[in-house]
Amino acid sequence: MQKKISLKKGILYNSAGSITNLGCQWLTTVLVLRMGGYQAAGFLSLAMSVSNIFYTAALYGMLSYQISDLRPEFVEKEYFAAKGCTVFVSTLLCAAVCIVSHYSVAQTITVLLYMLYRAVETFQDTFYGIGQKAGRLDLVGGSKLIKGILSLACFVGFLKISQSVQWAVAGIFLAVCITLFFYDRTFLGRLIAPLRQFQWDKVKQLLLRCFPFALSSVLYTITLSLPKIYLEKAIGSEILGAYSSVGAPIMIIQVAAAYLFIPMATPFAQYYEQGARKKLTGLVMQFLGLTGLLALLALTGVKIFGAFGLRLLYGEKILQYQDFLIPLTVCTILTACMLFLNMLMTVIRAFKGLLLGNILGISAICICLPDLIGRFGANGASYAQIIALSIQIMVMALSTAKKIYHLNEG
DSSP calls for 191-245 = G----S---HHHHHHHHHHHHHHHHHHHHHHHHHHHHHHHHHHHT-HHHHHHHHH
How many CA atoms does the CB half-sphere of 65 hold within 13 Å? 25
Print the domain residue range for 227.
7-405
Backbone angles phi, psi at 352, to 5 degrees: -60, -45
- What is the value of pTM for the model shown? 0.79
Residue 1 lies in a domain: no
Q: Has residue 269 been placed in a domain?
A: yes
pLDDT value of position 256:
67
Examine residue 287 and state whether it is found in any structural domain, yes or no.
Answer: yes
pLDDT of residue 408: 66
Structural contact between residues 354 and 196, judged by C-beta atoms closer than 8 angstroms: no
pLDDT at 389: 94
The string over 3-23, giving b where at least 16 C-beta atoms fall within 10 Å of a residue's C-beta and e elsewhere, is: eeeeeeebbbbbbbbbbbbbe
User: Dihedral of CA 37/248/108/237: which sign?
Assistant: negative
Is residue 86 in some structural domain? yes
Asked whether residue 277 is domain-assigned, the answer is yes
Residue type, 341: L
How far apart (Å, rounded) are the C-alpha atoms in residues 286 and 389?
A: 22
The answer to whether residue 305 is domain-embedded is yes
Look at residue 409 in the predicted model and tell me its pLDDT: 57
What one-letter code names the amino acid at 179? Answer: T
Reduce the DSSP state of residue 63 to 3 states and report it: helix
Q: 2 lies in a domain?
A: no
The three-class DSSP label of residue 91 is: helix
**What is the number of domains present in the chain?**
1
Instruction: Say if residues 68 and 271 touch (Cβ distance below 8 Å).
Output: no
Separation of alpha carbons 396 and 233, rounded Å: 31
Residue 179 CB partners (closer than 8 Å, separation 6+): 124, 143, 146, 147, 150
Angle at 14 between CA 12 and CA 16, to 5 degrees: 70
Per the domain annotation, does 410 fall within a domain?
no
The residue length of the chain stands at 410
Identify the segments of the chain with pLDDT beneath 50: 1
> Taking Cα atoms as reference points, which of 214, 224, 195, 248 lies closest to residue 62?
214
Question: Would you give the DSSP letter of residue 350?
Answer: -
If DSSP codes are grouped into helix, strand and coil, which group holds residue 30? Answer: helix
With contact defined as beta carbons under 8 Å apart, do 82 and 206 qualify? yes
Q: List CB contacts of 390: < 8 A, sequence separation 6 or more.
A: 334
CA-closest candidate to residue 225, choices 385, 85, 91, 343: 385
Query: Cα dihedral angle (79, 80, 86, 88), rounded to 10 degrees?
Result: -170
Q: Could you give the 3-state DSSP secondary structure of residue 135?
A: coil
Phi-psi region of 164 (alpha: psi -120 to 50; beta: other; left: phi over 0): beta
DSSP one-letter code for 73? S
